[in-house]
Structure 1
Amino acid sequence: MAAIQVAERRATGINETLPGRVAAEAQCVATRNARTMQFEDKTTLSDVLYDVTTMLPRDKAVTPEDADKVVAAELRNNPYMSTPPGGVTASMTAARHNENSTT
């Protein structure tokens, strides 16, 4: 959740969680998932991030600083001090790699 907030803030330049945007949706999903008993009824991170570009006011290339901030947030909020495969950090790193490979 914290990694999504940081990623959105870095992308938009807005230092708050706004209703209807990615971080707000992720928070709602996390709350709903905590109350959902059946695993197959839970919403996944990929479900939340599926159409992320339409939820942001602009599209911004990932910078090394953006990726570093997201990694730090994800590590800070994980009791095992690791980032999950396929998580927000992995997405940011892949986006940064793609950006670097096209320049």
Structure 2
Amino acid sequence: MQLPLQAAENMILGQTQKGGPAAVMQSAAAVNERRGVVRHDDVTNIAKDQGVTIFETEVAGGHIVTEAVGGQVVGQYSDKPVDQSDAAAIQAAEVRATGRNQITPGGVAAVAQSAAKLNSRTMPDENKTKLADVLADATGKLAADKPPTRQDAEGVIGAELRNNPKLATHPGGVAASVAAAARLNQEK
């Protein structure tokens, strides 16, 4: 018998990830139920029939955890410490998502900037703030949100590249995630 996503996260990762796919799906289901869009006993057999998978990939000295339901990726996060290129990419993504020209005090981009600055003075990597920590519940923290487009992805990729001394994006990083979301939106 296949396990639901929340049970799979608990079993594989040791707990349900704050702001992760299971938490987001549970929250969305509760909102939809309150609005009368679905009933509590409305179910789909996708997880049961096609499965829930959680796997970890080692990439460039870091790890990327990927969660999928029915073969569709529903979440990806990295244990990579936040650096200036991540903060710049997050800022570009926030500006594009909200339509504002400045970052929101206490918002995702502000937290990322703070984390990048602190991380630059912190050793070892285990003590640094991770990308997954900064991006937990990012959508909920934004004052406004919109699905990313190809142009948004290009802007975020550019910001990450310009702020990385190696002139490269990070696998499973902010730019890669926005680009993947933009591709999915374009296919709709």
- Scaled by the length of structure 1, the TM-score of the pair is 0.90
Match of 1:28 in 2: 114
Aligned counterpart in structure 2 of residue 56 of structure 1, from 132, 142, 149: 142
Question: Over aligned residue pairs, what C-alpha RMSD do you find?
Answer: 1.2
Higher helix share: 1
Q: Using CA pairs under 8 Å that are at least 6 residues apart, name the structure with larger relative contact order, 1 or 2.
A: 1
Q: Partners of 1:30 and 1:80 in 2: how far apart?
A: 17
**Alpha-carbon deviation of 1:85?**
0.6
**Corresponding letter in the other structure for 1:69:** G
Equivalent residue in structure 2 for 1:5, among 91, 102, 114: 91
Identity %: 54
- Give the number of aligned pairs: 102
Unaligned runs of 5+ in 1: none
Q: Does 1:40 align with 2:118?
A: no
Structure whose CA Rg is larger:
2
Is the strand fraction higher in 1 or 2? 2
Residue 77 (structure 1) shift: 1.3
Label 1:79 to 1:36 Cα distance change in 2 as closer, same or farther (>3 A): closer
Deviation string 1:20-39 (CA, Å, 9 cap, x unpaired) is 11110001111221222222
2:171 corresponds, among 65, 85, 89, to 85
Separation of aligned partners in 1, 2:165 and 2:144: 33
